[in-house]
């Protein structure tokens, strides 16, 4: 069965960086992209970006350009999302999601809470 397992919760200070991992299993990793979505406390869903696990091509949300980097390690079927220069409004649950050919997110990780606080 398809599973995406994310790394654990993080607490960071403003200005620091965080790197969240997402380990995939149950499917051919390079056949699908991985998207990252975040959700601030009590708020809606915000798409952050997408990476092709096949060739590493990326698309990032304009508001995060320059602060976010998405990568994959095909040898371990793991995707990574790094966010730099953290601010308090980056506090959120971060999700990875497998992206199907219609660019819908059909399987999701369990979420990783990132708290940014001084």
Return residues touching another protein (CB under 8 A).
Answer: 35, 37, 44-47, 49-50, 59-62, 95, 97, 100, 102-106, 108-111
Question: 4 with 26: CB under 8 angstroms?
Answer: no
Query: In this complex, which beta carbon is closest to another protein, that of residue 11 or of residue 104?
Result: 104
CB of 94 to another protein, least distance (A): 11
Question: 37 with 45: CB under 8 angstroms?
Answer: yes
User: Each residue of 28-38: b (16+ CB within 10 Å) or e?
Assistant: ebeebbbbbbb
Query: In this complex, which beta carbon is closest to another protein, that of residue 82 or of residue 106?
Result: 106
CB of 77 to another protein, least distance (A): 19
CB of 27 to another protein, least distance (A): 13
Note the residue count of the chain: 118
């Amino acid at each position: 069965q398809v599973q995406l397992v994310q790394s654990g919760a993080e607490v960071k200070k403003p200005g620091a960086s965080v790197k969240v991992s997402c380990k995939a299993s149950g499917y051919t990793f390079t056949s699908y992209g991985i998207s990252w979505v975040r959700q601030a406390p009590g708020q809606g869903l915000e798409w952050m970006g997408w990476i092709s696990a096949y060739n590493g091509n990326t698309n990032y949300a304009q508001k995060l350009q320059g602060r976010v980097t998405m990568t994959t390690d095909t040898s371990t079927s793991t995707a990574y999302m790094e966010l730099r220069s953290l601010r308090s409004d980056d506090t959120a649950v971060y999700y990875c999601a497998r992206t199907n050919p219609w660019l819908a997110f059909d399987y999701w990780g369990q979420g990783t809470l990132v708290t940014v606080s001084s």
